[in-house]
Amino acid sequence: MRIDNEDISNGQPLSGAGSAAIHAGGKMNAEHAHLTPIYATSTFLFDNAEQGMDRFSGKEKGFIYSRFGNPTTAKAAEIIASLEAFKLTDQEGQPLQLKAILHASGQAAMATMFLSNLAAGDTVLSHYSIYGGTHEFLYDVLPKFGINSIIADLREPGQLETIIKNNPSLKIVHIETPANPTMFCIDLEAVTRIAKQNGVLVTVDNTFATPYLQQPFKYGVDFVFHSTTKFLNGHGTAIGGVLIGRNIEFMNTTAKKYHILLGSNSSPFDAFLLMQGVKTLELRMEKHCSNAAVVAEYLSRHPAISQVNYNGLPDHPDYELTQKQMRHAGAVLSFELGKGMDAGKRFINQLNMCVRAVSVGTVDTLLSHPASMSHSGMEREDRLKSGITDGLIRMSVGLEAIEDILFDLDQALKDL
Ligand SMILES: Cc1ncc(COP(=O)(O)O)c(C=O)c1O
């Protein structure tokens, strides 16, 4: 698969990621349909027995069975790979080649990534503040298979060298930046440099940033995954995930094998929804982020709020890092009400237009309570270390008129 920018536009170089999101993957299909059709089929026909054998042996390229691969899911994966690689080059100065595999969920993409890279006796290192489901997978599931998981404060990349020296079985450093829901950021360049010097792989959950705001492959990371359920789909219409890797051979063999054997294929319909959503990624992210910046500023001045975690505010500890490695700070933030958990519940119940729901990245503004919802599977002690206090509220800022978002927050915060 070639994904240099000229290939996706009949030789015309593309200057904007928005154009890549619309044109990546090419325009043609057998029926010349304008949009990539939903190939709702479980299996594919062979002209004869020899062709079936050749497809299975890999001698002939082509689809076999939709759990192994499907034209709609393949096209959606190619678009995301194009966005992650957009305008990046490899060590020879050639357009960076990446391979993506679409999954049924972000969790499935994450599971393929860890299971295809790790074996009993290996160790994974992650930062404190990561998505609750990833945390549970690393600390409840992997140890049952003899894989050890450790946590450290990766916001101090200097510590990494010592951790690597003390853990010779360390195989992967896993980063989520910005992290859910504290918006703590990790220095992608520094962590990747130290890990690479020591032969350790780097994996990144890029869900909150999207490739429009941040391209981890620029720093040489090995794998990126997304919950496409969030900003990439953008409309809350499907659960999905994608795993992207720079080692094409590994992606086409080992990662593909785990994807197939775990049965974690995306449905073609969900892939179709993802492809429609991703076309407006640039437009949406620009508006999401400008709305979020105004909301963060408003909340930081409100007397009922004791703390706002938004990496776009100059007093956030990772503000400088955000400026260095992201286009904008993103559209998720969290905040603490001065009067604790009860005030938090009252606030959430008083919202009118904004929506009470978990997830992030939809067109509407969503608010949730991580301690009792997305991170409820974590031990309280671990949760507190991750900065997720009992009263923390997470907000995914939507695309509504900013005046309407502020109006709703203002009335819900009254008398708290
Ligand atoms: C940062 C992050 N990573 C991964 C996931 C898991 O994705 P999914 O729910 O699509 O399996 C989520 C879900 O909330 C998330 O927020």
In this structure, the answer to whether residues 273 and 148 fall within a common structural domain is: yes
Residue 1 belongs to a domain: no
Q: Ligand 1, residues 127, 136, 180, 360: which to mutate, most atoms within 8 A of Cβ?
A: 180
In this structure, the answer to whether residues 257 and 175 fall within a common structural domain is: yes
In this structure, the answer to whether residues 270 and 357 fall within a common structural domain is: no
Percent of the chain with pLDDT over 90: 82
Question: Is 229 close to ligand 1, i.e. is its CB under 6 Å away?
Answer: yes
Domain that holds residue 318: 282-413
Domain boundary among 247, 278, 309: 278
Give the model's pLDDT for residue 328: 98
- In the block, residue with structure tokens 């020879």: 92
Question: Is 36 close to ligand 1, i.e. is its CB under 6 Å away?
Answer: no
Average pLDDT, integer, range 337-349: 87
Binning the chain into helix, strand and coil, the percentages to the nearest 5 are 40, 15, 45
- In the block, residue with structure tokens 């938090």: 344
Q: At residue 6, what are phi and psi to the nearest 5 degrees? A: -70, -30
Region of residue 46 (left: phi > 0; alpha: psi -120 to 50; beta: else)? beta
Q: Cβ(295)–Cβ(333) under 8 Å?
A: yes
Q: How far apart are CA 373 and CA 378, in angstroms?
A: 10
More confident residue, 386 or 7: 386
Handedness of CA 6, 226, 243, 52 (dihedral sign): negative
Strands 148-152 and 355-356: unpaired
Q: What is the CATH number of the domain that holds 362?
A: 3.90.1150.10
Residue 166 belongs to a domain: yes
pLDDT at 81 over 80: yes
In this structure, the answer to whether residues 258 and 291 fall within a common structural domain is: no
Q: How far apart are CA 333 and CA 295, in angstroms?
A: 9
Q: What is the CATH number of the domain that holds 189?
A: 3.40.640.10
* Distance from the alpha carbon of residue 398 to the mean position of ligand 1, in angstroms: 18
Domain boundary among 259, 278, 297: 278
* Distance from the alpha carbon of residue 110 to the mean position of ligand 1, in angstroms: 9
Number of structural domains (the chain) is 2
pLDDT at 6 over 60: no
What single-letter amino acid sits at 164? Answer: I
In this structure, the answer to whether residues 180 and 313 fall within a common structural domain is: no
Residue 337 belongs to a domain: yes
In this structure, the answer to whether residues 235 and 314 fall within a common structural domain is: no
Distances in Å between the alpha carbon of 15 and those of 19, 20, 86, 214, 351?
A: 8, 9, 9, 16, 41
* Distance from the alpha carbon of residue 229 to the mean position of ligand 1, in angstroms: 7
Question: Is 207 close to ligand 1, i.e. is its CB under 6 Å away?
Answer: yes
Q: How far apart are CA 173 and CA 140, in angstroms?
A: 18
In this structure, the answer to whether residues 162 and 22 fall within a common structural domain is: yes
In this structure, the answer to whether residues 179 and 293 fall within a common structural domain is: no
In this structure, the answer to whether residues 148 and 13 fall within a common structural domain is: yes
pLDDT at 31 over 70: yes
Give the model's pLDDT for residue 338: 84
Q: Ligand 1, residues 80, 107, 360: which to mutate, most atoms within 8 A of Cβ?
A: 107
Q: Ligand 1, residues 80, 130, 131: which to mutate, most atoms within 8 A of Cβ?
A: 131
